[in-house]
Amino acid sequence: MTAPLIKADGILVEGRAQYVTLHLPDSSELSIINTYAPRTSRDRAPLWKKNSKANLLVEHIILGGDFNHFEEEGTRGQAGEKRMHKKEAATWHHLTLQHGLFHAWTLDSFRKMSKKEYTFDNGKKGQGSAISRIDKFLVSQELDSRGGRIETAPSIRKISDHSPLVITVWGRTSAPPKTATYFDITLLKEDLSRSALLEA
């Protein structure tokens, strides 16, 4: 099986979002968008709007990175800057609806390989603690139908206050046997130098 070929790549927003489109061994195409969102809701809204204009016309899309916001009710975090305000919510929902993207952690088709749900915590205990799921993968409907697994790895404090998030998407419509091909993308938070690795 030959390695996937890069069909296209580029920067969507300087210092904030970049993408690569791969031609996979099964002749399909996969676009991976790596993003590092600003800290405030006001600054994130233009980023999602520019991502919407990328025109990535492929079925398989993975959007991953540090989104610096959360949507989930009951998430304990820094509410002032992590919650989405009205303008950001509108641009965010437009982006996810346009590409048919779903948060992989919430999908039944992706088996959770760890009990650790949160990718960020400030290392404090008691009332001063803050934990949130601001690093995540969103996948298109086609990849949801294939399924896979997802895992939040243990924190590596000397490297980052964010935990590595790992997603595996099956290369076929159902979970493959041991000899089957799959692609494995690993995201390490920090900035756009962190890598998304793909094997096939």
CATH number for 77: 3.60.10.10
At 172, the pLDDT band (50, 70, 90 cuts) reads low
Number of domains in the chain: 1
Q: Is the per-residue pLDDT at 124 higher than 60?
A: yes
Quick one: which of 59, 65, 39, 37 has its CA closest to 49?
37
Task: Report if residue 46 sits inside a domain.
Answer: yes
Task: Report if residue 116 sits inside a domain.
Answer: yes
Mean pLDDT (whole number) for 161-172: 82
Task: Report if residue 174 sits inside a domain.
Answer: yes
Which pLDDT does position 178 carry in this prediction?
A: 54
pTM equals: 0.75
Task: Report if residue 178 sits inside a domain.
Answer: yes
2-38 confidence digits (pLDDT tens): 556 888 899 999 999 999 998 888 788 889 999 999 9
Q: What percent of the chain has pLDDT over 70?
A: 74
- CB-based contacts of 143, cutoff 8 Å, min separation 6: 60, 61, 62, 169
Which pLDDT does position 53 carry in this prediction?
A: 78
Task: Report if residue 73 sits inside a domain.
Answer: yes
The counts of H helices and E strands in the chain are 4, 12
Task: Report if residue 129 sits inside a domain.
Answer: yes
Mean pLDDT (whole number) for 67-78: 63
CA angle 115, 120, 124 (to 5 degrees): 100
101 exposure class (CB count in 10 Å sphere: 0-12, 13-18, 19+) = buried
d(CA 56, CA 31): 7
Domain that holds residue 84: 5-187
Mean pLDDT (whole number) for 103-116: 89
Which pLDDT does position 51 carry in this prediction?
A: 86
Which pLDDT does position 134 carry in this prediction?
A: 82
Tell me phi and psi for residue 120, to 5 degrees. -135, 135
Residue with more model confidence, 152 or 120: 152
